[in-house]
Amino acid sequence: MQLIIDNLTKTYANGVQALKGVTLTINQGMFGLLGPNGAGKSSLMRTIATLQEADTGTITLGDLNVLTQKEEVRKILGYLPQEFGVYPKVDAVTLLDHLAVLKGIRNKKERKELVEALLHKTNLWKAKNKNLGGYSGGMKQRFGIAQALIANPKLIIVDEPTAGLDPAERNRFLNLLSEIGENTIVILSTHIVEDVKELCTDMAIINNGEVLYKGNPLDAIASVSGKVWKRRIEKNQLEEFRNQYTVISERLIAGRPEITVYNEDSAPEGFQKTEADLEDVYFSLIFGKQNVLATN
């Protein structure tokens, strides 16, 4: 099964054009959607999840028209939005059972078996009778995946799922997503480059409502390899270097800035070559160097 998005546009009532002709083909497995806050990721996810209308364009999931056959799509869709609320005084078993009823699973025995399987799968079995208000951030995210897996969905959308998680919870959550992605289309929408690098074999980078890159993360890294350079400078030199070079990122090390620049020809004076990574690709595209990679 494929998810095919063709020339999708969306402009809100306040005049903000959130999506500008987005075209993507997404296959089974983990697909990463990278972009900064406000890039259009959530608008795209909400449209795919049948929660808002598009202005123009089409989305198909297998034989289904996502924009017109919403009820049919929702039967095979799992969705974990960026803001995921829970009933704090309800335990996991009770709420999952209720959500299964809403998904159309009427048989009590079938629901019981499903809920137990989901709690084991998401490593929440020992906390199954604990009120959700007492769950940690990572436990709530894993519960979010449990509810998204009800009814064996063919498409799962997770929007910024690891924001705010500590490293251990993040690793557990990403491992769970990776396992799910073996048999399902999973779209991971995030601004965290490492999440995509670790999990996804296919990805897109989006900014200002437009797709800047679509392809394999390793191919993207190869495209900037040998063109990324680093140098430590003084703070009072920052503006000078920004004006002189295509600075794609900067960070402080022991109080001094280290800048990364993109230069296709050779090492700028005083700079050293650095091994390129997906973060360099991301920053190169987001911060104005849109000819670094060819969109395909």
Query: Residue 258: which residues within 8 A CB-CB, separation 6 or more?
Result: 230, 231, 232, 233, 250, 251, 252
Mean pLDDT by 10 residues, the chain (296 residues): 95 94 95 90 93 96 95 90 82 93 90 93 91 89 88 88 80 84 89 86 93 92 90 90 87 88 84 89 74 40
3-class secondary structure, 167: helix
Helix (H) or strand (E) holding 254: none
pLDDT of residue 288: 54
pLDDT of residue 296: 36
Q: Residue 64 corresponds to which tokens in the numbers above?
A: 């289904």
CA distance 192 to 231: 24
Query: Residue 110: which residues within 8 A CB-CB, separation 6 or more?
Result: none
Length of the chain in residues, anyone?
A: 296
Alpha carbons within 13 A on the beta-carbon side of 262: 24
Q: Are 268 and 229 in contact, with CB atoms under 8 Å apart? A: yes
Superfamily (CATH H level) for 3-86+145-215:
P-loop containing nucleotide triphosphate hydrolases (3.40.50.300)
Angle formed at CA 165 by CA 161 and CA 170, multiple of 5 degrees: 75
Residue ranges per domain, the chain? Answer: 3-86+145-215, 221-286
Name the residue type at position 203.
M
